[in-house]
Every structure is written in C-alpha cells, then in structure tokens.
Structure 1
Amino acid sequence: MKFNKKKYLNIAVLSGQTFAAGLERSPQQIDALFEKGTYAEVSYTHIDPDVQGTDTSGNHISDLTEDFQTMGYAVKTDLNPSFRLALIYDEPYGAKVKFEGENNFIATNLPASDAYTRVEVKSKNLTTLLGYNLNKNFMIYGGPALQELQADVHLRGLTYQASSGYNNSFDDMAVGWVAGMSYAKPELGILASLTYRSEIEHKTAIKEDVPLEDLIGFDYSHTNRGSVTTPESVNLNLQTGLNQTTAVFARVRWVPWSDFAYYPPALKATTAYALQNGRGLPLVTYHDDQTAVELGVGKRLSPKLAMSVSGLWDSGAGAPAPTLGPVEGYWGVGLAAKYNINQNVAFSLGGRYMWFGDVKGEVSDGRVVGDFKDNTGYAVGMKISYSSK
C-alpha cells in the first residue's frame, strides 16, 4: 500500500509538556528537526496539578503544587540537501511548591511571610542540532545543549526538625550534548527516532542558611562551591501510517532519576558531622528510574484539520517521594487538534488530564512525613507554526 507524500499525515500535533517524575516538566522532544523545509514554532503550556494530603499529625495539606506555565520555541532550516540545522528552546525541569494552612510544613515561630515551606526550580534549555542525511531514509544528528538551572528552597516546620529555617539558592549555566538517529519513509507514513541527552553538571556557588550549624557550633561559610547534575535521558519515538489519513504513534522516555542526588555543601557537612556517618544528607534524592509512555492515533478529518487522541503512563521516580512533588507517576489521556490556517501556517491546541499515583512523602533522612492520595492535574497547550516546504 503506497501513500501520497503530499498527503502524509504529520501527527505531531502537540508535543507534550506535563507534570512528570522527578523535576520533569518537558519530555525534551526534538520534533522540529524532522520537519521539511524551513520551519518555526512558538508554543505555550499551562499546567495545573492539584496535590493534597495529610501530614503525620493528621493535619490537612491543601493543594501544594502551584500552577505554572512554560514556553517553547524552535526554528529549523535545510542548509543543503544533506544537512539541516535546528535550534530548540524548552524549559525541561522545574518545581513550584508552597505549603499553606496549619500543618507540620509551617513554622509557628517565624513571621507569616517566611513561615511556609516553599520550593521553586526553573530551567531553560537551548539545544542546537545538526542533522546529516546518510541517505534518503537515515539521518544522524547531534549538537550541544546549553542549560540554565535556578533553585530557591525554604524548609519550615516540625517536619524538618533542626533543619527548619534552612534556605538554599543558586543560579548556573552549563553545557551538555545530544545525539541520535532517525529513519523515515514518508510514502508509508513511517518516522522513527532515538535520541540521547547527556547529563549536565552545574558547578556553581550555592548560598545556604543552615540552622543546624547554630546547634552544633559548626563554623561553615554559607556560600560555597557545589554541584548539581541534571540526569541523562533517552527518547524513542515511533510513527507509522495505517492509511493516507490515519497514523499511530508511540513515545517512550527513560530517565535514571535513581542516580540523582543533590548534596548542597553546607548541609552535607553539618549533617555528616551531626550523624557521624561521613556522608551527610542530600536535599533531594529519588529511589527509582522513570519510564514514560504515550500511545496514540492521529487522523486527518479534512485537508485543514487533524486530530489525535492518546493514552499516557508515567512510572514516577519511586516511593516514598520527596515532598517537593509527592506523586508516584500517573495515568492520563490526551486530546489535540491541528488546523492549517493556510499552506504555511498552522495552529495546534491540546490538553491532557492526569490521575496521579498515591504515595507517601518523605524527607531526605528517610522519615515519612505525609500521605498524598487521590490527586489529579491537567495541562492545556497551544502552538502556532510556520512551514515553507
């Protein structure tokens, strides 16, 4: 069965940004690289997770995960018949958490403006990819990824015991790399790609306030050189046509979050001294690796309109989970549509609804400090794209 290339269905209606395992906000897709001719896009996503629970004293914890928005940009061009170049911007990691109300994450001995446990993590990624066509079907690609990572952490309340009042902040930029290969057969609606992203180590000045120092008389500067490493990842994308108007697709992502552990230097030194274990305690760590899967089908309903529906599953990064994102993966459904305004410009709109897995929340010394059940969330995104083939 042969397909008309001009009618080949592109079901990359909306690259999914969501609330996922670890600090993930984006699956770091590179769909723009596979577009034909000159291509550009701008995307916006609003994500609203609702995560509630109880602390170990039975106090209610109201929705601790604040809404957040992410932006994405991409441009791609063919340099010649063999080479193509793409620049892709996304915001892959983040957290926005604030505990409110009356529970063990609120300090009673501090002013109201500084009494809440709160965490904000932001990131920006700019990936440059050069693709080389080995032949009409196979392409290899690779390039650098420039990443900015920011964090602002405030731990408060009985949950953190002697560490209540701890603060941590840093802002750093570092470089990693991306490499992959793809296979395409447009006449059959086939596109497959395998992409590897390296870990990125941020070596930076980390500012800390460590109340435990006052208790043990440990004299340690609050600004020290330290490091935090965002994890490597592997993305596998598959698509094949069923007929001229219908295609099925699968996306699989793997991230070794079990290797992630953030040891701020002052916190590590003071907890190592207090515990006499030589290692100290991390601020954040995870138990398991993450696997995320999306399976779906796309269909062109008319020359201008295409839609897709998908099912999603995310394993999470293990249980118990850190309190900055206390969910154990999720199940979800997605629906998206792409409308071709004219032969060059298209508008995409999509949404996802997620049912988060129940999980116990823990702090880095292994104490369970909360129970989080029956939580959900949704994401809505839009994209406008330009293509000149």
Structure 2
Amino acid sequence: MKKALLQACVLCAGATAAHAGGIDRSGQGINIIFEEGSVVQFRLGYTNPSVSGTMLGVDSGNVANDFFSPHLAYKHAFTDQLDFALIYDEPFGADIAYGSNYPLSQNPIPGGRTDVLRAKADTEAITALLRYKFDGGFSAIGGLRIQRLSADVAVPAAAGYEVNADKDTALGYVVGVAWEKPEIAARVALTYNSKISHDLSQTESVNPIPIPPIPPGTVATFDTSSEVVSPQSVNLDFQTGVAPKTLLFGSIRWVDWPQTVYDPPNYPPTSALVDYDDPTWTYSLGLGYQFSEQFSGAVTLGYESATNEPVSNLGPTDGFWSIGLGGTYSMDRAKISGGVRYTDLGDATADGAGPGARANFSGNSAWSVGIQVTYALN
C-alpha cells in the first residue's frame, strides 16, 4: 500500500512540475533512492503551455513552446544499509519564441537581418547517489551530479543581436539526510543541490550601423565566453499516513535564482540577457488513497509565490498555482502511474523597449501529463 500510494504521489507532484520558478523543470527529485530493493524507473512528462502578452498594443502570440520532460533512473541495494541510485533528468530549460511583429522582434538597423525574439536553453544531468542507513530510521545521502548546458538566444531589437553557446559540461554535488518510520509510512527528506558553474564558449553576432564603408546587412561576429551558474537549491519532502490507506505528502523547494546571470560581453551594457532578482519558494501538498490492492490515486495542490517584480521577456511569468491528479496500478513487479496537472501561471510585467514600453502578460496557463513505470528487479 505504501509504495503504490507513493508512486501516485510522486508522479502527480513531480513528473509534471513544469514552469516552477525561473526555468525549473524537473525539481531535481531523488525519491527513487527510497524504493525497496533494486528497481528501474522510466518517466516521461509533456507540457503544453499557453503564455501571451502585449507590448505597445502588439500581441505577442503564444511565446512558450511545448516540451517533454524525460526521467530515467536505476536503484540498487548493495546491502540492507547501503543503496545506490543513478538518475537522468533535464532539470532546467527554456523554449521561448515571439511573433515577428512583436516590438522586440524588430531590428532597428537598416538592412539588418530579420529574426524573432527567442531563447532556447537545455540542460541534461546525470546524478549518482549513495544512501547509508543508520539505526533509528535515519540515513545520509550524498553524490555527484554531472550536467551539460547549451543556449541559443536572439534579440533582434538589440541591433539584430544573437548568441549561440556550445554545450558545456560541469560538475556539482548533492547531500542530504532523511528519517523514516515505515509503520506509519512516515518520511522526511532534506536535500541540498549545489550550484553548477558552466564556462560557455559562444559566438555572438550583431548588425553594426551601416555607416560607409560599412555596407547594409553587415554582421559582426565575436568568439567569446561567459560563466553561467545553474542555481543551488534545497528540497524538503515529507509524507505520513494519516488514516487507514491514506497518505498525506508534500514538498518545499527553494531555488537561489539570483545566482543565475547570463551576460555575454557584447550584449548591450545596460542589461543582462538573464538576471533574476529574487529566489523562489515552491510548495506542494497532496493526499493519496488506496482504493484497492492494485489501484491507488492522489490529488496534489501546488503554489509558488510571485515576486511582483518586472521579469524578462524570455521568462514572462511570475508565480503559479496548480492542481494535479494521479493514479497507480500495481502488478506483480511493475507499477504503472499516470497523471495530469493544470497550472495557472501568474501575471507578469516584462521589461520593454524603454520607459512606458513594458509588456503585460496575463491569463496564462499550462497543461501537463505524465506516465511513469517502475519495475522491481528482485
């Protein structure tokens, strides 16, 4: 009962955790380390966001593209006290593209190249974890995370500016502690994810003003580098049985977004491409119930407080609330989970082309679905 309930809860709360603070996508969960015995796990989430706004009376269109969130993990029990887990996920990402008539998609340089305001950033991470169990239900968790990051951004309003960054791989770590009491399905786990610093090699390009002898359409190109940090974060996950066949669960996630600044040297000096003023706090709370020996379900509520500060056009939302439903069907060795989540994305004001030219984004949302399969190897 406890394992089936937990699978439904994890899927509902985690597999579709898109559009949390900044460009957070996976939530960097490590729940597989708490599975019994040795298991393999596959999860795939899909998110279809709808994000639009207006600047100077021009509609942006839906600027957020849909995306998949894959997760693959393996957990092995070396002994009764020592466990190992290997996790693949895509913790952060962005895929934004505006319409060609949007003010920031307009190149002010005569004869300059045409494009749209857009940004695409991808991360892939592999995390290796060890967990050692002590007496009294306590355990210690630690491991390494290797992460690969790439980025591609165009801001036509900045003289046709573009930057394309090569993939960079860097290393971070995870540490944590946990306490469990299986008799009442209770667990509390606190984990810290270190920041990861990437040194991006990149190509920047821009259209200079066509003053003779510079012909119209000239593109100036620069090979440069920038440091970009994926932020440190802390996850607090908890669960407990509250009645027969009933599980209460939740999480609190803090992400230190001000650590993440992307400021290529040839971007206009008055601003950075990516720069956050505030960290984010994301909360979830859910209730799971076992309807039969094979089937259990869960409902989860999520909330992230808004900063009420101007945001970037490359991430034009501020906070959210969500509701998710999930279910798990248990067989002999396999547990198959499915879930759906609706997210109401917070209204935001985005930086514009100057004073009085900010963009307003409102009425935005996202639908997410996910499927997860966990198979016991022993």
User: 1-side partners of 2:141 and 2:119: how far apart?
Assistant: 36
Q: Which residue of 2 aligns with 1:357?
A: 346
Aligned AA (2:105): I
Residue 337 of structure 2, aligned match among 339, 348, 351: 348
User: 2-side partners of 1:67 and 1:111: how far apart?
Assistant: 33
Unaligned stretches of 5+ residues in structure 2: 215-219
Q: Which residue of 1 aligns with 2:66?
A: 67
Q: Which residue of 1 aligns with 2:327?
A: 337
Q: How does 1:109-258 map to 2 (within 5 A)?
A: 114-156=114-156, 160=157, 163-170=158-165, 171-211=167-207, 222-258=222-258
Aligned AA (1:197): N
Residue 295 of structure 2, aligned match among 294, 305, 315: 305
Give the alignment's Cα RMSD to 1 decimal: 2.5
Aligned AA (1:169): N
User: 1-side partners of 2:151 and 2:103: how far apart?
Assistant: 23
Q: Which residue of 2 aligns with 1:86?
A: 85
Does structure 2 conserve the Cα–Cα contact (< 8 Å) formed by 1:291 and 1:314?
yes
Compute the displacement of 1:101 (Å): 4.9
Report the number of matched residues. Answer: 365
Does structure 1 conserve the Cα–Cα contact (< 8 Å) formed by 2:5 and 2:290?
no
Cα distance change, pair 258–213 in 1 and its aligned pair in 2 (3 A): farther
**CA deviation string 1:264-308 (max 9, x = no partner):** 1332xxx44xxxxxxx53111112110000001000111111100
Compute the displacement of 1:317 (Å): 5.5
Percentage of identical aligned residues: 30
Compute the displacement of 1:108 (Å): 6.3
Normalising by the residue count of structure 2, what TM-score does the alignment of the two structures yield?
0.90
The ranges of structure 1 where at least 4 consecutive aligned residues each deviate by more than 3 angstroms after the TM superposition are: 6-10, 108-114, 210-215, 363-368
**CA deviation string 1:1-59 (max 9, x = no partner):** xxxxx76654242023312221111111001001010011111111111011101x211
- Aligned residue for 1:27, secondary structure, equals coil
Cα distance change, pair 102–79 in 1 and its aligned pair in 2 (3 A): same
Compute the displacement of 1:204 (Å): 2.7
User: 1-side partners of 2:200 and 2:150: how far apart?
Assistant: 11
Unaligned stretches of 5+ residues in structure 1: 1-5, 273-279
Residue 371 of structure 2, aligned match among 374, 379, 382: 382
Compute the displacement of 1:388 (Å): 4.0
- Aligned residue for 1:146, secondary structure, equals strand
Normalising by the residue count of structure 1, what TM-score does the alignment of the two structures yield?
0.87
Q: Which residue of 1 aligns with 2:312?
A: 322
